[in-house]
Amino acid sequence: MANSPKTLGRWTFKDERLLIELAASQTDLEVVAVKLGRSVESVVRKAAAMEISLPVLDQPGRRIGLKAKGNKIAWIDVDRVSKPGDYDFRDGVIHIKRKHLDVWKKDPNATFSLIRFVPMTGTVQMYGLSSDSLT
């Protein structure tokens, strides 16, 4: 792993293509950085070097879950999102899977335990939902 392209700071062609796709989809800058496993500054520098415009990504995204209390999360706490994916949540990003949405569509009052992952890059807090503690 010490000689991997990520630790040397080099961008692979695959990473560059993903950056272009995420920029075109107007994904939030912090989410782009997490998906690429890089810092926000690194993504901004690379986008500038590739002459990719990121005006939408530079603006703060709408955060969901700001009113959620505790570690039990209901569908209403994530603004009843309708698609699986990564969303701005509180002070980071939450990953919502299709299986969570399927449970919520059957029972909108179902709750999941919120899992907070240790940030690998130190820039964005990552969250997930634990389906084994469904209540």
Kindly report, residue by residue over 3-19, the tens digit of the pLDDT.
334 434 688 888 888 88
Asked if 76 and 129 sit in the same domain, the reply is yes
62 or 111, which is more confident: 111
Asked if 37 and 11 sit in the same domain, the reply is yes
Label residue 99 by pLDDT band (50, 70, 90).
Answer: very high
Domain tally, the chain: 2
Give which of 35, 38, 43 is closest to 95, Cα–Cα.
Answer: 35
92 pLDDT higher than 50: yes
Span 63-87, pLDDT tens digits: 777 777 778 888 988 888 888 888 8
- The residue from 58, 82, 103 where one domain ends is 58
pTM: 0.53
Domain range enclosing 39? 5-58
| Domain annotation covers residue 45 | yes
| Domain annotation covers residue 36 | yes
Asked if 52 and 102 sit in the same domain, the reply is no
CB atoms within 10 A of CB 21: 12
Label residue 61 by pLDDT band (50, 70, 90).
Answer: low
What pLDDT does 132 receive? 57
Any idea how long the chain is? Answer: 135
What pLDDT does 1 receive? 35
| Domain annotation covers residue 63 | no
What pLDDT does 59 receive? 53
Q: What is the CB-side half-sphere exposure of residue 74 using CA atoms within 13 A?
A: 9
Asked if 10 and 53 sit in the same domain, the reply is yes
| Domain annotation covers residue 65 | no
| Domain annotation covers residue 87 | yes
pLDDT average, residue stretch 38-54: 78
Asked if 10 and 43 sit in the same domain, the reply is yes
